[in-house]
Every structure is written in structure tokens, then in C-alpha cells.
């Protein structure tokens, strides 16, 4: 199993954690709504076609054949709120989940309801354990998708409404190809969990 769902209710104060997530979502909600209004002028049918194409198995196979590795997603429809640093309030909770590791925030993205996506990539330039907390406004309207190379299978992990916590391991050799798609607002908080030695070179 390359991607694992983390039962956060068993690891942290669930009420406090959920309140912190909601606070982070609320901090950018008005900006997201404005962005969505401004994007209404975009050809929605074309955007839908592109989002489905760039998260398809066919596109992944082309990437592997042509480039072998893609560290950073080349195609995307999302908003980057990393500069707001709102996800730093979540670091203590992630630290409780991984008490023996150092936690570093790695990003805060919002995938908009109008076919938000991030195309296939590997993050292989920054290996290690990754934790992503996704808050989805609707049930089964967004997903995290990855490729299981050992079994030649594309695995789609659908979000449930509310909080979804996933863990996966990034390796520079054993590549974990993954992508994201959304038809509802999806708030994604990323973290890296590292040893003290890894933290020095991060």
C-alpha cells in the first residue's frame, strides 16, 4: 500500500484539530470564492477536458515514456496560498501524529470547484515521508490518484466530505507518480516528516 489514510481521531485531539483546519479554510475562503467568480470567464468545457486529460493514465504513460521523471507538476489549475503561512497552525497536530520525526510545512493549495487539478508528478527531488491533509467541501467530488507500478494499476482515492489525512513516501528511485483532481473546493495542506539528519539538508 503506497498511500495510507491516517486515523487522526486516534492520534490527536480531534475537536481542536478540526477547529484548526476550519480556521485555515476560513482564512482564505473569501479569496477562493472571488477567484472562482473571476474564472467563470474561462472555457469550462475546455478546462474540464484538460483536467481529465492531465490526470489520466494515458497522459501518465506518455510522461514516463518521454521524460522518465517529472519532479514538479507541469500542468495545474489551483491557487497557492503558501505565502499566507496559515497551515503552520497545523504543524503541532502533525507533530503529535509523528512524535519521533521533525515536521516541516511544504505547501497550502486550494483546488477550485471548476475542475481544479495538478497533473502527474513525483516530487522525487525531495524524498521522504509526505503527509497531506485535504479538506473537501463535498463527498466524492475530488481525489488523490497514484500509480502502483508494481501492479501496473492506477489507484484513485476519493475524498470524503470534510477532513482527509493521507501519508505516502517519496523516493528518488522508486518513483511514486501521483496527481489531484477536484470538482469541489479542495483545501490541501502539505507537510514533510523527516529525521533530524534529513531536516538539516531539507
Q: Which pLDDT score, from 0 to 100, does residue 107 have?
A: 86
Closest C-alpha to 179, from 47, 67, 58: 58
Residue carrying the nine cell digits 500542468: 75
Give the end-to-end CA distance of the chain in Å, rounded to a whole number.
Answer: 26
Q: Which pLDDT score, from 0 to 100, does residue 202 have?
A: 64
What are the average pLDDT values for consecutive 10-residue runs of the chain, which has 202 residues? Answer: 84 95 91 73 84 97 90 94 86 96 93 94 93 97 96 96 96 94 96 86 66
- Exposed, middle or buried by CB within 10 Å (0-12, 13-18, 19+), for 147? buried
> pTM for the complete prediction?
0.93
CA 7 – CA 87 distance, rounded (Å): 19
Amino acid at each position: 500500500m503506497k498511500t495510507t489514510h491516517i486515523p487522526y481521531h486516534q492520534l490527536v485531539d480531534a475537536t481542536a484539530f478540526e477547529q484548526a483546519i476550519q480556521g485555515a479554510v476560513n482564512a482564505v475562503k473569501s479569496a477562493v470564492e472571488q477567484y472562482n467568480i473571476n474564472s467563470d470567464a474561462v472555457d469550462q468545457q475546455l478546462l474540464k477536458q484538460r483536467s481529465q486529460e492531465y490526470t489520466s493514465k494515458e497522459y501518465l504513460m506518455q510522461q514516463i515514456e518521454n521524460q522518465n521523471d517529472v519532479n514538479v507538476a507541469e500542468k495545474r489549475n489551483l491557487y497557492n496560498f503558501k505565502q499566507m503561512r496559515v497551515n503552520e497552525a497545523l504543524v503541532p497536530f502533525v507533530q503529535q501524529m509523528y512524535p519521533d520525526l521533525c515536521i516541516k510545512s511544504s505547501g497550502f493549495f486550494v483546488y477550485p470547484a471548476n475542475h481544479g487539478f495538478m497533473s502527474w508528478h513525483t516530487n522525487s527531488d525531495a524524498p521522504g515521508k509526505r503527509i497531506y491533509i485535504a479538506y473537501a467541501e463535498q463527498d466524492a467530488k475530488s481525489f488523490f490518484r497514484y500509480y502502483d507500478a508494481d501492479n501496473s494499476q492506477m489507484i484513485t482515492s476519493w475524498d470524503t466530505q470534510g477532513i482527509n489525512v493521507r501519508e505516502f513516501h517519496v523516493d528518488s528511485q522508486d518513483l511514486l507518480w501521483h496527481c489531484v483532481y477536484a470538482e469541489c473546493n479542495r483545501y490541501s495542506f502539505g507537510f514533510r516528516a523527516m529525521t533530524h539528519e534529513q531536516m538539516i539538508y531539507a
